[in-house]
Chain A
Amino acid sequence: MTDSRKRTLALFYCRNVPESSETHRQAIEKGCDEQIRLFPLPCSGRLEPVHLLRALEEMADAAYLITCPEGACRYFEGNLRAKRRVERTREMILSIGLEPERVGIVIGSKEVPKTLAQHAAEIFDKISQMGPSPALKRPANETFACEKRRDWL
């Protein structure tokens, strides 16, 4: 039986991702009842493992990063560094008994660029298949349905 508690996703993203302005961010968060929390970064290379870990500890069942396509980072290697940091975080959460899939990276495509909302929907669908995170402190009375609203797409 699927756990009915709602899933939350912390989604960090490079501001170069298409349609990722502040207006888009607010619309997505509002549209999904804040089950997705969005964190814009000037470059994905700004992300540190501690950001992902803190997100998993404080507010999210999964924490993901969206970067620009390889070779398209305006700071040359920000997305390559981000990839290694995500990998390091996955190793760390594995060492405490958490599934590494709770942390991930999505590298944008030059050929088929997707908007922030499209990425967010795909990642949210993926993490919704997982159970609630045992590492996340939840309020005792939490019984939300895992409802997926799509009016922000």
Chain B
Amino acid sequence: MITAEQKPMDEIRGMLAPYKRVLALGCGSCVAECAAGGEKETAMLASALRMAARIHDEEVLIHEKTVDRQCVKEFILPLDDMIGEYDAVLSLGCGAGVQAVSEMYQEIPIIPALNTEFLGETKDQGYWVENCLGCGDCMLYYFGGICPLARCSKQILNGPCGGSVDGRCEVNPDIPCAWQLIIDRLTRFGALHRLEEIYPPKNWARKQGSGPRKIIREDQQT
């Protein structure tokens, strides 16, 4: 899941300042799950912005709507009938959602209300952690399902570093040592021998350095 957090109110109001008719556009997928940009959060933000406008004597019209997914064209299409009424759209989608809506409506500014954070897991209610960097070359098999790139502070592929104390990371004692977790887990499987391999430095060209990545699946295309 893509996680995000709402930007500070002052920043949002600053970006909206030139516009008089605004559509606050929520997204019902990942950002709803992480309570940043779903229907409820969109209603809250729109309500707060309308009240802020009254407090500061500003004539602004703010409507709200939430689509199921801002990053899929088919889900954005229903906006066709209403988008012309607005000077700007305040998107509570992730960065991908903001850009998908921007591409659909070239003449209207699409303003991000959220800071997109990371690919995360919901650990508990209201608690999300990053555990995948989306590196494009998954090595989880070798490390017992625990990614040393996302979860080890030093991102080392041939660990442990030797600095952990009582299974906690020496850089950030709030988190468990990823290498302790890897070794414990591989031991449970009887697969510790996988660590006898020396893993070469990560080839980051699969993640970045060649422009935006894309996936093309002809069998999925019409």
Contacts and interface: CB of A to CB of B under 8 A. Distances in A.
Contacts of B47: 50, 53-54, 56-57
Interface in A2-40: none
Contact of A134 (B8, B9, B10, B54): B54
Nearest to B12: A95
A135 B54 contact: yes
A100 interface: no
A153 B26 CA distance: 44
Interface string B27-71: 000000000000010011001111110111000000000000000
Contacts of B40: 48, 50
Interface string A61-76: 0000000000000000
Interface residues of A, number: 17
A139 interface: no
A135 B51 contact: yes
A53 B44 contact: yes
Contact of A49 (B10, B44, B54): B44
Contacts of B54: 134-137
Given A48-B40, A50-B40, A50-B43, A92 B55 contact: no
Nearest to A81: B125
Nearest to A53: B47
A95 B9 CA distance: 6
B209 to A, nearest CB: 39
A107 interface: no
Contacts of A53: 43-44, 47-48, 51
A135 B10 CA distance: 17
B48 A93 contact: yes
Contacts of A92: 9, 44, 48
A96 interface: yes
Sort A-B residue pairs by CB-CB distance and give the 4 closest, nearest first: A135-B51, A96-B52, A95-B9, A53-B47
Given A93-B51, A95-B8, 13 more contacts: A50-B40, A53-B43, A54-B47, A57-B50, A57-B51, A92-B44, A93-B48, A95-B10, A96-B49, A96-B52, A96-B55, A97-B55, A98-B55
16 contacts: A50-B40, A50-B44, A53-B51, A54-B43, A57-B50, A57-B51, A92-B9, A92-B44, A92-B48, A93-B51, A95-B9, A96-B9, A96-B55, A97-B52, A98-B55, A135-B55
